[in-house]
Amino acid sequence: MSGRQGSSLVPQRIDGYAPIEAYAAIGDGRTVALVSADGAIDWWCLPDIDGAAACWALLDAEGGGRMTLQPTTEYTVSRRYVANTNVLETTYTTATGQVRVTDALLLGEPGLAPLRELYRRVDGVSGRVTMRWQFAPRFDFGRTPTRFVWRAGVPVAQGRGQALAVCTWAAGDAELGSNEAWAQFTLDAGGSAGILLAYAGGEPLVLPPRGEVDARLRETCRTWREWAKSRSYDGRWREAVVRSALALKLLVHAPSGALAAAATTALPEMIGGERNWDYRYCWVRDSAFILDTLTSLGCAPEAEAFFWWLMHASALTHPRLQVLYRLDGGAEAPESELALDGYRGSRPVRVGNAAQGQLQLDVYGDLLEAAWRYAHTCGTIDPEIARRLAQTADLVADVWRQPDSGIWEVRSEPQHFTQSKMMCVIALERAAALADLGILPSRHASHWRAEAKAVRDFVERNCWSPDAGAYVRAAGSTDLDASVLLAVLFGYAPPADERLRSTVDAIGERLVHGPFVARYTGDDGLAGSEGAFLACSFWLVEALARTGRRPRATALFEELLTHANDVGLYSEEVDPGSGAFLGNFPQGLTHLALISAATALAGEGSRP
C-alpha cells in the first residue's frame, strides 16, 4: 500500500492479520483507534491510549476484540483523511454500488469531556450496497469477561466497571450473542446510516440522539481544520508536514501534554521475532525533537504543555532521569507479557517497558537541549526548575564516565556508546550556556565546561576510527550507528567539521538499503534481526542537508515520502526488501524526524 494515496485496492489479510500499513489512525486527544482498509477496528485502548485494549485483534486475530463494518459482497477500497483532519473517509465500491464510511473519534465541545465516542457514519454514494457490522469487544485484553445486554433498547457490552454502547441509526436491527452484537442493512444512493460506540468507565453511560452525534462530527472536522490551518510551515512539502503534524497531535495525551511514542504495543520489528515493545509512553529521548518541532510549527500551547509535563515527570526521579515516563507523568512502567498469539505469531506480547530502569546517558543531553530550546522560543524558566536543571548538569559531570545502554536500549552489556557521550557534551555545554544567560545558577558552570571538554577528549580519542573514517558505535568498536547522525542535528560540532561529514558519508554508504537506514551493526543482546529504522532515514536527510549536500538530501527525502502508507502515515520500521511496515504504529519519532528534515531542507529551524 506504500505511497498509493487515493488509489483503489482489494484489502488482503495473512492468517487473519492485515498488513500494518493497511491501518489508519483516528483519535481524540486521549485514545487512538486503528481502522484497517477492510473496515475492521482492530485496536482501541480505553479509556486512554496507554490503557488496556477493548479491541486488540491486531495482536490476536482469533481471540482479540474488534469491530467490523464492510459490504457483504466483494469490493475494492479507496480512502483518505478528510482534508486537514484526522477524520477518515473510506469508499467501498461493489458491483452494485458505492458507499462512503466516515470514521472519527469525536472531539465534541471545546475542552475535554469524559465522553469517548467512536462514530462510523455510512453514506450511500451510488447504486445500492448491503453492509454488515459486527462488534465483539474484549475488555482488558480479554482478562475481563465481556457480556452483552439490552439497555433502553440499545446493545451494551459490559465488563467490570466498563461499558460500550452500540447506538445505531438506519444500520439494521441488532442481534445479540453472549459477547457480540451484529446487524445487516442496505443503503441506496443518498441514504445514510450511523453507528456510535459510546464508552463509559466508572461514569454514567450517555446514549445521545443522532442529531447531536452528527453535529459533533462536524465540530470534530472543524476543530482539526482550524488546528491544521494554524501550522506555520508553508514550504514545498506542506502536505506531508501537516499530515505528520496531525499524526503527532493524535499521539499527544491532552490531559498532560505528553507525546506517546506510538499508539500500539508489541508490533514486531521482524515478523515472528521477539523485539516487540510497548511504546505507549513518552521518551525523554524525543523531548528536544518534540520541543523543536512544536515551536517550528507554531504549536506554542502544545510546546508549553509538553515542557511542563517533562519538568513534572522528571521531578519524580530527580536528579536521575528515567528513559521514559507514563503519559500522566508517573515513573512506573513494569514490563509483563500477555498470553496472546502476537501479530502474525510474533511473541512475546509485552505491556510495560523494562527500559525505564536502564542507564541511558543521552537523555540528559535531550533534557538540557529541550530546556535550551524552551528558554529561547517559549518562555522563562522559573528559579526552582533552573536549580533542578543545574543539579542535573552536576549529575552528568559525575556519571558520564559510566557505560550505558544507549539510545537504542540494548539488552546486552552496557558500553561506552559514542552518541551517549556526545549528548553528555551537549548537556554540559547547554547548561553552561544557560548559566551565561543568567537562566541557570552559574556556581558550577566552569566545572561543566571542564567536564564537557573531558568528554570531548574521550570521544575524539576512543570513538573515532581512522579505518572506518567515522565515529563508531562505541569506544573501541568497529561498528557504525546511525544515532551518531544526531551529532550533526544537535550541534556537537559545526556542520563543516570533517569528522562529522565523513561519518555522515560512511553511514550513508554502509547502513543504507535503498532509501532506508539501519540503526546499527553489532550485537544488542537479542535474537534475530529487525527492519530499517525510518527515523534514521530522515535523520540522514537532515544531516546531508546541514552538511551542504542538499540535492542528495532532497532526492532521498522525496523518495522516502513515497513510502508512507496510502493515508500518509509511517510506522517505526520498514522491511527494506518489500517495503512492508514493521514495529509500532503510527510512530511519533518518524513523523518528528520527517518534519525536522523538511524544515532543514527549507533552510529553516532553530537547530545549529
CA–CA gap between residue 288 and residue 566 (Å, rounded) = 29
**Look-up of cell digits 445505531:** 168
Query: What's the CA gap between 429 and 423, in Å, rounded?
Result: 10
Specify the DSSP class assigned to residue 206: P
Report residue 107: phi and psi, to 5°: -90, -35
Copy the grid coordinates of residue 353.
517497558
Domain(s) labelled CATH 1.50.10.10 in the chain stretch across 230-601
Distances (CA, A) of 443 to 131, 310, 391, 423, 607: 71, 25, 11, 22, 27
* Cβ pair 566, 5 in contact under 8 A: yes
The closest of 345, 372, 380 to 270, measured between CA atoms, is 345
Q: Are 53 and 169 in contact (CB under 8 A)?
A: no
Torsion of CA 287, 290, 294, 299, to 10 degrees: -70
Q: HSE of 145 in the Cβ direction (CA atoms, 13 Å)?
A: 2
Kindly state the cell numbers that stand for 554: 532532497
- Judge if the upstream peptide bond of residue 209 is cis by omega within 30 degrees of 0: no
Angle at which helix 418-436 crosses helix 383-399, to 10 degrees, equals 140
| One-letter-per-residue 3-state SS of 486-521 | HHHHCCCCCCCCHHHHHHHHHHHHHCEECCEECCEC
The DSSP secondary-structure symbol of 138 reads -
Which residues in the chain land under pLDDT 70? 1-7, 108-114, 604-608
CATH classification number, 20-228, choose in 3.40.190.10, 3.30.70.20, 2.70.98.40, 2.40.30.10:
2.70.98.40
- Cell 520498514 sits at which residue? 574
Q: Please give the model's pTM, rounded to 2 decimal places.
A: 0.96
Phi-psi region at 141: left, alpha or beta (left = phi > 0; alpha = psi -120 to 50): left
Q: How far apart, in whole angstroms, are the C-alpha atoms of residue 286 and residue 486?
A: 12
Question: What CATH number does the domain located at 230-601 have?
Answer: 1.50.10.10
What SS3 state is found at 78? strand
The SS3 call for residue 453 is: helix
**Main-chain dihedrals φ then ψ at residue 408, nearest 5 degrees:** -90, 5
Determine the distance from the C-alpha atom of residue 40 to the mean position of all C-alpha atoms in its chain, rounded to a whole number.
21
- pLDDT score for 8: 77
What residues does 186 pair with on adjacent strands? 130
The whole-number pLDDT of residue 578 equals 94
Length of the chain in residues, anyone? 608
- Cα–Cα distance, 245 to 256 (Å, whole number): 18
Q: Which residue has the cell 561519518?
A: 503
Q: According to the model, what pLDDT value does residue 183 have? A: 98
| Cα–Cα distance for residue pair 575/582, rounded to 1 Å | 7
- In which residue ranges of the chain is CATH 2.70.98.40 found? 20-228
Show contacts of 30-36: CB within 8 Å, 24+ apart: 30/112, 30/116, 30/253, 30/254, 30/255, 31/105, 31/116, 32/105, 32/250, 32/251, 32/263, 33/103, 33/105, 33/118, 34/58, 34/263, 34/264, 34/585, 35/88, 35/90, 35/103, 36/11
- Look up residue 91 and give its three cell numbers: 469508499
3-state secondary structure of 164: strand
Give the residue carrying C-alpha cell 458491483.
95
Backbone angles phi, psi at 161, to 5 degrees: 80, 5
* SS3 labels along 92-128: EECCCEEEEEEEEECCCCCCCCCCEEEEEEEEEEEEE
Q: What is the pLDDT of residue 608?
A: 40
Asked whether the CA dihedral 540, 544, 545, 549 is positive or negative, the reply is negative
**CA-to-CA distance for 97 and 91, rounded, in angstroms?**
11
Q: What one-character-per-residue DSSP string does 229-258 give?
A: HT----STTHHHHHHHHHHHHHHEETTTTE
